[in-house]
A and B are shown apart, each in its own frame.
Chain A
């Protein structure tokens, strides 16, 4: 079995860790590039959302590389992602590919992801204990990666040499990806921390604080959002985003109810504006904006794919949230035409707007 998954954040590190320990062979799709998107656009129905097109592109490139099994999440609506599997299966079959498909039902993480996983491994002769140990190891790796990523958000606005944080972060990820057990992981973590700490910083700066929220795929994937976190960091903004691999799983298994800035809390906060949870990240996007506005953040950026049936509702309501909480909110509704100017000019104007607002208040 040669399994592949879509590119999503740093998920390859998780899958790599798992598959190197207990297999099967993991075919990483080539890094999402303009070619990926072109393939996705070419073979996707026109009105599908942008994440669909990226993911289809990933799958085509992985199948080209020899993958024979596709593993993809699904859910029970109302977001479209639950229908990706059946539509993509039809498209890929018509293109002539032969493959197996494993669906991981997001609504039943414990029952679906966990049990399927253990069962599949048992078929391959891996004991449940080893499978669970491998899972735990990979989870811990992801936690370390996320810790490093959060540090880059805090470091980048202060960096003296543009690009140093990004370069060092890349080294850290490679380091972490390479380790094979918990002991090595601990050492790698210390190493990564010290590398990040030794980035030359100018601590006299006063970075703005911004929240990035919105539809999950667009928030977590730099290839979909024009690398917005790096751009903002280099403009001197400390960013925080709401979509993390481990926090999504924690929320889905209901383990985050009491955490400080958890998704559950965000959904509760949104009820004032949207009294019922309508699904997807919609309520969370509204709620997070409220939670972070209360904490004194300077601005919020909402990302969504054009036509997103859930985030469009949030987009509308966030305008009122922006007024009520006096916090600027900028929305990017992204299409396939991801040109530089779409994002950079607006981002820099947004940062200016907030900086001048703060300067004005200070007078």
Chain B
């Protein structure tokens, strides 16, 4: 089977790219991932996506448009829940339909339903249904999934050890696999450690994040993202809430943020949020409240379609100045939070 399977470079691609890419390649397919986001892609997405939805969703519309004519199948899974205890954003569950009913002239879509809370609808089962649809034998499907899973687990390990998602994506796409050793870059001249949390599909999208990571590196800051925080630590920090945070990503962001604020692992925390993200609208205030009670500088950076680079850069620079001042003048007992 040498079918071209199109995967839009958006949303859960940033969580599952090694798994999906490996799976389809092992089935014998050719994986076509859309090019990294550009202004053009986003504007195309605007034409078909509703006003109410967040930029990452508009972005995936744009990515779908950019590859739909170049592939035999379009892979847009339907994720209702991606962990035993949490939901994804519900728009991810309705995504294939939203695309199907808005974008004209689509190739056939592969939209397996994934609900990790129940055995019958786990990702492994969902993908094996896709394999069967593509007329691949069950043994090959099982082997492909096992290999894909291995890559996914390695991805998680690499992230926890400090690998950055964009670097890992590039390495993986170039070589088809990860190197054995972690790729954490050691920098001797780093003076600041900055925690950055947010939805991975906003944070690591090259257009959306206005080059945040490069700017932090240029400011001699090392970056500590939420993927480095172990799930057990996240659970520990959320225990005290006595509240079930029922969005998987929301949970991770919140737990990681609490950890980064409380533990002094980092000198300051940035939460990159997206305008009209329902989940961020509930999670970010909780981080903000917590930040007021700790010593760590904190800034919520909200990005939307109208955001001008100038304003964001100014705020980032001001924030880093504060962090530096606080770190290198140790007598400051003033608690503050930044927005």
Using a CB–CB cutoff of 8 Å, the interface residues on chain A facing chain B are: 45-49, 76-80, 82-83, 85-87, 90-91, 94, 273-276, 278-280, 282, 304, 306-310, 312-313, 315-317, 319-320, 333
Contacts and interface: CB of A to CB of B under 8 A. Distances in A.
Contact of A48 (B80, B244, B281): B281
Nearest to B51: A333
* 8 interchain residue pairs of minimum CB distance: A313-B94, A77-B246, A47-B281, A309-B278, A78-B87, A278-B93, A83-B282, A312-B52
A304 B275 CA distance: 17
A306 B97 CA distance: 20
B328 interface: no
Contacts of B87: 77-78, 279
Contacts of B102: 316, 319
B282 A80 contact: yes
B281 A282 contact: no
A306 B244 CA distance: 25
A218 to B, nearest CB: 13
Contacts of A46: 281
Given A80-B281, A86-B241, A276 B80 contact: yes
Contacts of B97: 273-274, 313, 316-317
Interface centre among A48, A307, A309, A333 (most CB of B within 10 A): A309
A47 B300 CA distance: 13
B276 A319 contact: no
Nearest to A273: B97
A87 B285 contact: yes
Interface string B265-285: 000000001011111111111
Contacts of B113: 275-276
A48 B288 CA distance: 14
Contacts of B284: 45
A90 B286 contact: yes
B93 A276 contact: yes
Given A278-B93, A282-B90, A312 B53 contact: yes
B276 A307 contact: yes
Interface centre among B98, B245, B281 (most CB of A within 10 A): B281
A275 B246 CA distance: 22
B243 interface: yes
Contacts of B201: none
Contact of B285 (A45, A282, A312): A45
A333 B94 contact: no
Nearest to B288: A45
Contact of A316 (B50, B86, B278): B50
B101 A319 contact: yes
Nearest to A75: B246
Interface centre among B90, B93, B243 (most CB of A within 10 A): B90
Nearest to B284: A45
14 contacts: A47-B276, A47-B277, A48-B282, A76-B246, A78-B93, A83-B245, A273-B97, A279-B87, A282-B94, A312-B53, A313-B91, A315-B50, A315-B52, A316-B50
A280 B286 contact: no
Nearest to B275: A47
B106 interface: no
Interface in B100-128: 101-102, 113, 115
Interface string B115-154: 1000000000000000000000000000000000000000
Interface in B47-85: 50-53, 78, 80
A49 B281 contact: yes
Contacts of A82: 246
Contact of A90 (B245, B247, B281, B289): B289
B89 interface: yes
Given A316-B102, A320-B101, A87 B52 contact: no
Given A47-B275, A279-B87, 20 more contacts: A46-B281, A47-B277, A47-B281, A49-B278, A76-B246, A77-B86, A78-B89, A78-B90, A83-B283, A94-B289, A275-B113, A276-B93, A280-B90, A304-B52, A313-B93, A313-B94, A315-B50, A316-B101, A317-B94, A333-B52
A339 B283 CA distance: 30
A306 B52 contact: yes
Contacts of A83: 245, 282-283
B94 A78 contact: no
A278 B80 contact: yes
B125 to A, nearest CB: 14
B247 A78 contact: yes
A308 B289 contact: no
B111 to A, nearest CB: 9
A326 to B, nearest CB: 16
Contacts of A309: 89-91, 278-279
A87 B98 CA distance: 30
B223 to A, nearest CB: 25
Contacts of B88: 78
Nearest to A312: B52
Interface centre among B51, B93, B113, B277 (most CB of A within 10 A): B93
A313 B53 CA distance: 9
